[in-house]
Amino acid sequence: MSGSYSLLCYTRVPSSREEANNEDIALSMHLALRSRATGDWTPLNENYGIFFAAAVPRENVPEAARRACTAAAKFAGEPAPGRESASASDAVRYGAVMPGVDIELKSLKHPYLFRLLDGRFGVAATRTARGGEPDGSERSSFLLAVSHDLRSYTQLGMVRLDTADGVNRPAVDYDKISRRYVVRWCDDAGSPHVASVADIIAAANAAPLAVGDVDVDATAGDDADAAHAVASAALGPIVAGNVIDVTETEAAALIARFGRVYNTSASVRQFAVPAALRGDEARDAVRTLGNATAALRYSDGSVANRAVDWNADQLAALADDAAAGRLKPGETRRIDGRVRQTVYPVPFAVERADPSVFAWNFNGEPLFLFIATDDTDGNCVDPNGGRTHMPLRVASSIMELSDEAGGREREIDLLRCGDRNSEGRAMTGCFWAPELHVIGGKLSVLFMPCFDGEPTNPDGSANDRAGKPDMWTGRCHIMQLKQDADGRDLDPRDPANWTVPEPILGPGERILNPVQRISLDMTVIVDSGRWYYAWQQVGSVWIAPFDPERPARLTGEPTQIVVPEFAWDNMIAEGPNAFVHDGRIFLIYSGSLVGIDYTTGLVTAPAGVRADLTDPSVWTKLDYPLQKSGVYNGAWQLGTGHGMWSHDEDGNLIYVFHNAEYENGRYGGRDAQVRRVHWSAEGMPILDMASDEELAPAYAEVSMEVAVR
């Protein structure tokens, strides 16, 4: 293959959660490219998994209830190992599944990459139970997936073989002579076996393939052993799969998606000033030059425009000369400047989880608001000895909201423990995930308070949270900023200027979550003139339409749209937040439970075409986390997640999220962080671009040429 690169697939040997390499992550397909210059292997995606086995639905879960299991859409239901008679959850009655009950997470071993006849990639692997133990499928089958570009995958299901003696290290290759796909594997005793089929795609979930006679060619090994020896030095302890050739174009696409994107240049276009201008007209022309931006170019071919702090003295001198008529046609002036790059403090706000930063116009005055969950010492149910509150910060810049700039000392409590909702119930705990939006023209806060628990749970068992804040009583609420008679907003810093919190109910005044009661992490999506709420319940993301003029009531039934189907999102999908970019809705969500394993996932849907966002098939799920624990600006950040999109003072998209406090094995809660977002050349958001990658120091100083015409 002309101009080819070598690509290795492998799994890692699990190490620790602190290295983002526990069993859930290690037992997935990883990819590495070999440098043609040095022969060294370079891991893609920071040596993190790229293809994960999908969770498998239970056989007693009807197809209508697992519509949101999009990664496993082609899988048939399977019995639960060791508990075949287990019943489906109550979620099934509402057209949904419950993670861990109705679907079971899986892992994989021994991935093998091959080319399909049509040029696509195929992946064969041994499917296992979550964590690597056998799940029974390996007795007679292997997992099959296909991909156009190794950046997204379609899992086709299991290819069954006519054996019960074990299918270890499955491998598939196309034989041009016989025009058939040859499947190779070893049984549990180490004996080689072979089967063949004309259409490997059709073999998924079909009748078992007959086992054929073994010949020398069919058992020929690949170069995995040699690759293993070379690659381990660069990748750490791994279990190598195989090596295939990829084209230069394919390698470039993989590097653009899974490599580090970094700043390669900065430039400012030339501007012109007419020599004939005089007085204020001339000064105005020069003044507009102060808005000139720099074009930052990146290694993947992407471009970002950034504001520049121009030399004020040079601009003033140019304005004076222009106003006085001292500029001569043909001459050129140079204005120096520095690309504006605010590097926010880390942490931005200590023990403030599920953060929301909101750029808002307060009757003509631009303000930034920050609101979050109080997560003191990791207790977000009733922190500070039961003194639960909803902290709000207001400032004229994002930096002023930070702890470092005194933002914590200026916090206002919008709500406190014991405040009552519109039903007259005392809200005693949680105040989880408050999020700011403008709904129906009014500044609004969506959040989840909880109430003291009853003596018994709904199933009749004793409630250990009786008389204390009980998170399972929590439900999504809304409160809105009041306006005066002229429609002007009242001051959001005065708690009295907000409406009494009202629970958000579904059609027929029903609670949102009839299965478990609790509903939380609500956000807003607006598309094609339609308004939707998205939120978390039953461990997954749900959506429903609503009328912004009556925001406490849904206008349609809730639908489950995102289910945690991979080991990396680990039993929960929560904290949704949406942004529209280039005709697509980017809905981020968080998975893997609160703590140091937290991750950020992504689903996308078409925007502006009146797509039915309540249909799970409209949403496309990323196979791996968009953001995960990793090194940022030279230091590890663990448990990154529950983020939201916002904008800074210059209109740049920013990402506000939290990470876990973790030191010497102790988890101490979650801290808020703020970063800018970079859009890659292929249109993907990059959430973990380091400061020097965003703007290389060598390109921070720029100049603008001003030609006199």
Query: How does pLDDT run across 59-73, given as a tens digit for each residue?
Result: 999 999 999 999 999
pLDDT of residue 216: 46
Kindly tell me if the per-residue pLDDT of 43 is higher than 90. yes
* Each residue's pLDDT tens digit, 125-170: 999 999 999 999 999 999 999 999 999 999 999 999 999 999 999 9
pLDDT of residue 593: 83
Residue of 207, 82, 197 lying closest to 141 (CA atoms): 207
pLDDT of residue 226: 52
218 vs 638, higher pLDDT? 638
| DSSP E strand stretches across 486-622 | 502-503, 520-527, 530-537, 540-545, 559-562, 573-581, 584-591, 599-606, 620-621
Helix (H, G, I), strand (E, B) or coil at 501: coil
Write down the pTM of the prediction: 0.95
Residue of 430, 451, 446 lying closest to 374 (CA atoms): 430
pLDDT of residue 78: 87
pLDDT of residue 221: 44
What is the rounded distance in angstroms from the CA atom of residue 368 to the CA atom of residue 272? 36
Residues whose CB falls within 8 Å of the CB of residue 303, separated by 6 or more in sequence, listed in order: 295, 296, 297
Helix (H, G, I), strand (E, B) or coil at 688: coil
Mean pLDDT of the chain: 94
pLDDT of residue 534: 98
What is the rounded distance in angstroms from the CA atom of residue 118 to the CA atom of residue 157? 19
Asked whether 70 and 53 are in contact (CB, 8 A), the reply is no
Neighbours of 36 (CB within 10 A): 12
Q: What are phi and psi of 227, to 5 degrees?
A: -65, -40
Helix (H, G, I), strand (E, B) or coil at 572: coil
Kindly tell me if the per-residue pLDDT of 2 is higher than 60. no
Q: Which position has the token pair 């933002």?
A: 407
The angle, 0 to 180 degrees and rounded to 10, between the axes of the packed helices 279-289 and 312-324 is 150
| DSSP E strand stretches across 93-197 | 103-104, 106-115, 121-129, 141-147, 154-160, 168-175, 180-186, 192-197
Helix (H, G, I), strand (E, B) or coil at 414: strand
Residues whose CB falls within 8 Å of the CB of residue 85, separated by 6 or more in sequence, listed in order: none
Kindly tell me if the per-residue pLDDT of 451 is higher than 70. yes
Amino acid at 195: A
Kindly tell me if the per-residue pLDDT of 218 is higher than 50. no
Per-residue pLDDT band at 81 (split at 50, 70, 90) = low
Listed in sequence order, the DSSP H helices in 91-215 are 200-203
Kindly tell me if the per-residue pLDDT of 104 is higher than 90. yes
Kindly tell me if the per-residue pLDDT of 220 is higher than 50. no
620-621 and 630-632 strand pairing: unpaired
Q: Which position has the token pair 């399977």?
A: 78
Per-residue pLDDT band at 36 (split at 50, 70, 90) = confident
The mean pLDDT of 315-343, rounded to a whole number, is: 96
Kindly tell me if the per-residue pLDDT of 219 is higher than 60. no
Task: State both tokens at 533.
Answer: 């709420």
* Each residue's pLDDT tens digit, 349-407: 999 999 999 999 999 999 999 999 999 989 999 999 899 999 999 999 999 999 999 99
Kindly tell me if the per-residue pLDDT of 180 is higher than 60. yes
pLDDT of residue 123: 98
